[in-house]
A and B are shown apart, each in its own frame.
Chain A
Amino acid sequence: MLIKMPVSWLREYVDISVPIDELALRLHMSSTEVKGVERPWWDDKVRVGRISKLAKHPNADKLQLATVEYGEDRPKTVVTGATNLTVGDIVPFADEGAQIIDGHTGERTTLRGKPMRGIQSEGMVLSAKELGQGEDHDGIQVLDRKLPVGARLRDVLGETILALELQPNRPDCLGVVGIAREVAAILATGLREPPVDRLPERTSRDLDVRIEDPVACPRFAAALLTGIRIGASPTWIQQRLIAAGMRPIDNVVDITNYVMLELGQPLHAYDHRKLRGGLLVARRARRGETLRTLDGVERVLHDDTLVIADADRALGVAGILGGEDSEIREDTTTVALECASFEPRGIGRTAANLGLHGSAGSAAARRFSWELSPDLVPVALARAVRLLREHAGAEVSGVMDRYPKRRGVVNVRMRFSDIPRVLGIEIGPEETLDILRRLQFVAAADGDTLVATPPAVRTDIAIAEDIVEEVGRIAGYDRLPVRVPDGPLPLHERHPLQEFRERARDGLAGFGLQEVLSYSLIDPAWLGMLTADGSCIAPEPLRVINPTTVAQSAARPTLRASLLDTARRNLRNRAGVAIFEIAPLYLPQRGDLPDERWTIGILLAGNAEPVRDGETWLTPERPWDVRDLQGYVLALADLLDVQTAGDQVDAPGLHPGRSLAFAHDGRRHLVAGQLDPRVAAKWELPAETFIAEIDLSSWLDAARPPRVIAPPRFPAALRDLAIVVDEATPYRDVEREIRAAGGTDLGSIALVDLYRGPQIGAGKKSFAVRLVLRRATATLGEEDVDRLVKRVAGRLQQALGATIRS
């Protein structure tokens, strides 16, 4: 939680003997993250002004002319739309040329005089927002009447503020006093806690307090205060609230907020007139119970919600949000002041249920969701009562404090040697005890045993490691040596899929394809754009329940959409793309985590050549074609020692005449081909877009480590055959039959040419193939070669009805 800590407030409790930048650094290193040091930036032209005259603007009903004295001889006249000004008010005045915050944009800007409805405004009176002190832009920030007119605002109101990012294990730091405790420990100086008079219990006929759920509400105290006069709070309180980023409201609310900022403990004030039965009770909401909360929303309360109720009805959601009916009004004279302790997880869950968690939550809710110490309750109540007596006329007519099950005192027993055991560095017992005492721990040594009792506000301390951290951070992590760990190394496991995947990645990049990496969450609408008829090529995806954008709301069950999107965007500025992506798909499984299946996607579209757009002087333009895609797939299979085979299945979303797909055990492990041109059109891609998808683990299963042999010692014989077959016969069959007949003397087969034409007749085609023939143990004789070719020819004739021309 980010809080603003005015340094002047901090100085009330601790002497700061070092420059603020050094303090900030030391807090940052050993206590709480310092996001920044904000210094007053108002320049010399921002002054304390006094409204000496107010007049109607002659040309505009909603504007006024304010005459402002600001210490110079001639007062200035400004045009303002504010309605909260009266003559004599002390206000911030910005002369022309001053730096202010633009009330609309929130940006820093230089004030320029300009005519408004025909009258020149010679400067400006400023709202809190224009001063950079919050969001309030409704009226002019009226200042303390005692401020000297004409003084630089920076000199009388300027505050140096530490912006602190607090961590939720440190609720003690929510108050200025808590930060002061840290500063005192770091600077080894004393802490001055604010004056508190213990409030003796005093029962009252008009107020009682009850806890029905002591787990959710361990402690509940309240004071009944009469004689309250609602009014503005003293200027010093207002200024501190403003400096800390809160808006002053009235003395009662301001004082509860002041105590919250000072000690970290929120309080809540009820108008006693509205309390039926003179009762405040912490209980679970009743089934169907409703409450109109301070934000004007009528809420139906979930029945595990902890509420603060009177005898009849819920008054507020405990620790989170007050009710509208019982809030303090201008004519309130009797106040029931609540100061309680709540179980933080319950507050966190309820706030989340109400959509009021995190930064959306109230200041109180955010604090109560941290583990505030119940010991703060009487202290904060007494502090608030004291301030209300001083500044709101309060008289105490009742005080009660219910605390049925007291929190035990934490005593951490440990060994001094635990410190080097964890930190790896010796910090002596004397220094250890000193550090702990500076942090207000009670610490004692008994030989090697250390017994440490944290101050009650330190609810984060429970085990030896917590104490080690305290000692380590205050001593300074700088003192830790840099050491390379020794000790036995674990045996490493092999990770075949990872290794295989990285070989594939290197292979594809080596082939010249560029790797891309796209978002794994996609727009679910994309999945309906992968086939001509909108049917799905992948299972129904996992959905994000609370997506940041619909464009990232489905866990992709296919890489295809991402690749098409990437290609589409790139083809706007280049003639061709050749890309690949390797990423897991998320395939839902009933009652289990999704199957995260690593997949390779390859996409080729546009020009294959030239490699550099327009550079055709050596290489004419040539578009990618389906043979290129096959080439990459087969080269990858070759590189990875994979035999690509399986049952041939259809490839939805691809061109039926220029695609192939293999499946094994019902899973497509290879899909490759031309995108269905109707799908390409949907993605504004060229009709010739080629895509391949490979299921990595299926390929890994099909990979066989190579069994190698020495290179051949005897020369090969080459024979060319022209094989005429029916048009319908695929080359695959021809190759298969040649292999079957060729036996071990057949080395390899190369397709020399494919011919169709009058010489062989209609409905036929001729494959010219070159056979490489060799035997491992001898040079093949002429007769051996002839016999083998004859056998191949016979087989082709018999199996495929081929005729052989030579």
Chain B
Amino acid sequence: MPGEELRELANRAVAEIAGAADDAALEAARVKYLGRKEGALSEATKRIAKLPPGEKPAYGAAVNEGKLRIERALEERTRALREARVARDLGGEREDMSLPPRRVRVGRLHPISQTVREVSRVFATMGFETVEGPEIEWDYYNFEALNIPPGHPAREKWQTLWISNPLGDDPSRPLLGRTHTSPMQIRVMEQRRPPVRVVIPGRCYRYEATDAIRESIFFQYEGLAIDEKLTMADLKGVLFSFARQIFGSDRKIRFRIDYFPFTEPSAEIAFDCFSCEGRDPECRVCGGDGWIEAAGCGMVHPDVLRRVGYDPKRYQGFAFGGGIERLAMLRTGAPDIRLFYQNDLRYLEQF
């Protein structure tokens, strides 16, 4: 009889649990039947102790069985309710995912910083170490050590901003804003012995009117490689590799004669136009002739080597220099060099 009663109790509980509409009803049912203090099954469990020994095993087994059935029913119902909830959520309201998000602030590097890094990275792949040097220089490093003494007509090419020190000027050592990164050729060679492979990005200054493609304050990159057997062909290879990595692998490269007092022979390097590939006579990128002049270069002049204590009979090498802004403009289609330094955030945020 008591077994019968317990089975009835379990049947009622299982039915009630299966009918529980939500988590609260389910919890109420759990407390009602399995609650520690007043749960029906707990009451039944307590009764076991009072039964005569002969009836205990059967009754105990019946209690356990009822408990297991109720627990299983609770588990099932819990899972069913959760699945129903998830299904309701999944089938329910649709968020308009085209609404703007909670915005995260995005900061970008200035296009010139990006380009300087890119140049350093590309030359690093060819073993060039990036070094830096002073922007305010002595005339000696900027000119004289590079075979450009005072009165030399080549100084016309590098119109100079002369600098005065508030703590006193020395007329025998004029200060200037370096007009190119080339003085670092001298500084590097004064400090190192061959083999040398460095690239020097940095700010330069010219006494020059500005326009859409020229700034009086601008960035250059300088390369220098000195060893025993480096030739013009190696120079061409390095710059060719650079062009491919910057502008794409099907670039062509062209050397033409040029003149720099500190290189001999000298050349100017041009890349074929990545925009029109020489097909558009009105091309805005190359101006229509199909070539983009990118850098001046040449074999370091023996007099320059001698001046830094390198033996030109043993060592030779090449140097090159080009404009960072020009690279940045070519890569991004930036229309006017001056925009880089006006720092209109509406412009900079595009890079």
A579 to B259, CA, bound (A): 42
> Is A794's beta carbon under 8 Å from chain B?
no
Instruction: List the one stretch of B20-28, B71-79, B147-155 in contact with chain A.
Output: B147-155
> Is A520's beta carbon under 8 Å from chain B?
yes
- When distances are taken between beta carbons in the complex, the residues of chain A under 8 Å from B177 are 521, 544, 555
Give chain B nearest CB distance to A336 CB in angstroms. Answer: 28
The 8 Å CB contact of A596, one of B135, B164, B301, is B135
> Is A31's beta carbon under 8 Å from chain B?
yes
Given A570-B343, A588-B165: A348 touches B209 (CB 8 Å cut-off)? no
> Is B180's beta carbon under 8 Å from chain A?
no
A593 to B137, CA, bound (A): 7
Given A489-B127, A591-B170: A30 touches B257 (CB 8 Å cut-off)? yes
> Is A204's beta carbon under 8 Å from chain B?
no
Find out whether the CB atom of A468 lies under 8 angstroms from the CB atom of B233: no
Find out whether the CB atom of A512 lies under 8 angstroms from the CB atom of B207: no
Find out whether the CB atom of A615 lies under 8 angstroms from the CB atom of B103: yes
- When distances are taken between beta carbons in the complex, the residues of chain B under 8 Å from A540 are 166
> Is B232's beta carbon under 8 Å from chain A?
yes
The 8 Å CB contact of B113, one of A478, A495, A517, is A517
Find out whether the CB atom of A345 lies under 8 angstroms from the CB atom of B150: yes
Find out whether the CB atom of B168 lies under 8 angstroms from the CB atom of A352: no
Number of interchain pairs (Cβ within 8 Å): 286
Give the interface residue-count category, chain B.
35 or more
Find out whether the CB atom of A495 lies under 8 angstroms from the CB atom of B131: yes
- When distances are taken between beta carbons in the complex, the residues of chain A under 8 Å from B110 are 515-517
**A residues 638-681 touching B (CB-CB < 8 Å):** none
**A residues 345-364 touching B (CB-CB < 8 Å):** 345-349, 352, 357-359
> Is A488's beta carbon under 8 Å from chain B?
yes
The 8 Å CB contact of B217, one of A487, A552, A611, is A552
Find out whether the CB atom of B137 lies under 8 angstroms from the CB atom of A422: no
Identify the closest chain B residue to A489 (Cβ): B127
A492 to B199, CA, bound (A): 12
Mask of B206-238 contacts with A, CB within 8 angstroms, 1/0: 011110000011000000010111111110111
> Is A754's beta carbon under 8 Å from chain B?
no
Find out whether the CB atom of B161 lies under 8 angstroms from the CB atom of A352: no
A517 to B159, CA, bound (A): 23
- When distances are taken between beta carbons in the complex, the residues of chain A under 8 Å from B228 are 487
A48 to B233, CA, bound (A): 55
A515 to B347, CA, bound (A): 12
Find out whether the CB atom of A485 lies under 8 angstroms from the CB atom of B340: no
> Is B87's beta carbon under 8 Å from chain A?
no
The 8 Å CB contact of B153, one of A348, A421, A463, A520, is A348
Find out whether the CB atom of A31 lies under 8 angstroms from the CB atom of B107: no
- When distances are taken between beta carbons in the complex, the residues of chain B under 8 Å from A490 are 127, 129, 192, 194-197
Give chain A nearest CB distance to B59 CB in angstroms. Answer: 44
> Is B162's beta carbon under 8 Å from chain A?
yes
Find out whether the CB atom of B162 lies under 8 angstroms from the CB atom of A546: yes
Find out whether the CB atom of B100 lies under 8 angstroms from the CB atom of A520: no
A520 to B177, CA, bound (A): 11
> Is A466's beta carbon under 8 Å from chain B?
yes
Identify the closest chain A residue to B155 (Cβ): A348
Mask of B254-280 contacts with A, CB within 8 angstroms, 1/0: 111111010011110000000000000
The 8 Å CB contact of A617, one of B100, B104, B153, B258, is B100
The 8 Å CB contact of A423, one of B150, B153, B209, B231, is B231
> Is A74's beta carbon under 8 Å from chain B?
no
Find out whether the CB atom of A482 lies under 8 angstroms from the CB atom of B237: yes
> Is A117's beta carbon under 8 Å from chain B?
no
> Is B50's beta carbon under 8 Å from chain A?
no
> Is A8's beta carbon under 8 Å from chain B?
no
Find out whether the CB atom of B238 lies under 8 angstroms from the CB atom of A485: yes
Mask of B81-114 contacts with A, CB within 8 angstroms, 1/0: 0000000000000000001111111111110110
> Is A518's beta carbon under 8 Å from chain B?
yes
Mask of B107-130 contacts with A, CB within 8 angstroms, 1/0: 111101100010000000011011
Find out whether the CB atom of A516 lies under 8 angstroms from the CB atom of B156: no
Find out whether the CB atom of B209 lies under 8 angstroms from the CB atom of A463: no
Give chain A nearest CB distance to B253 CB in angstroms. Answer: 7
Instruction: List the one stretch of A135-143, A163-171, A319-327, A723-731 in contact with chain B.
Output: A163-171
Given A167-B259, A169-B261: A465 touches B302 (CB 8 Å cut-off)? yes
Mask of A476-508 contacts with B, CB within 8 angstroms, 1/0: 011011111101111011010010001001101
- When distances are taken between beta carbons in the complex, the residues of chain B under 8 Å from A266 are none
> Is A573's beta carbon under 8 Å from chain B?
yes
Q: Kindly name the residue among A31, A505, A548, A591 whose own CB sees the greatest number of chain B CB atoms within 10 A.
A: A548
Given A482-B236, A485-B225, A586-B136: A345 touches B152 (CB 8 Å cut-off)? yes
- When distances are taken between beta carbons in the complex, the residues of chain B under 8 Å from A469 are 257, 264-266
Find out whether the CB atom of A424 lies under 8 angstroms from the CB atom of B345: no
The 8 Å CB contact of A513, one of B107, B160, B216, is B107
Find out whether the CB atom of B257 lies under 8 angstroms from the CB atom of A484: no
Mask of B286-326 contacts with A, CB within 8 angstroms, 1/0: 00000000000001011000000000000010000000000
Give chain B nearest CB distance to A633 CB in angstroms. Answer: 15
Q: List 22 A-B contacts (CB under 8 A).
A: A30-B256, A347-B151, A348-B150, A348-B153, A357-B156, A463-B264, A480-B236, A482-B236, A482-B237, A483-B234, A484-B238, A487-B228, A489-B127, A508-B107, A512-B104, A514-B348, A518-B341, A539-B166, A543-B166, A555-B136, A588-B166, A593-B136
Nearest 4 interchain pairs by C-beta: A512-B105, A424-B233, A424-B231, A469-B265
Interface residues of B (CB under 8 A from A): 99-110, 112-113, 117, 126-127, 129-132, 134-138, 149-157, 159-168, 170, 175, 177, 192, 194-197, 203, 205, 207-210, 216-217, 225, 227-234, 236-238, 240-241, 253-259, 261, 264-267, 299, 301-302, 316, 340-346, 348-349
Interface residues of A (CB under 8 A from B): 28-33, 167-170, 344-349, 352, 357-359, 369-370, 420-425, 463, 465-466, 468-469, 472-473, 477-478, 480-485, 487-490, 492-493, 495, 498, 502, 505-506, 508-521, 539-548, 552, 555, 566, 569-570, 573-574, 577-580, 584, 586, 588-591, 593-594, 596, 610-612, 615, 617-619
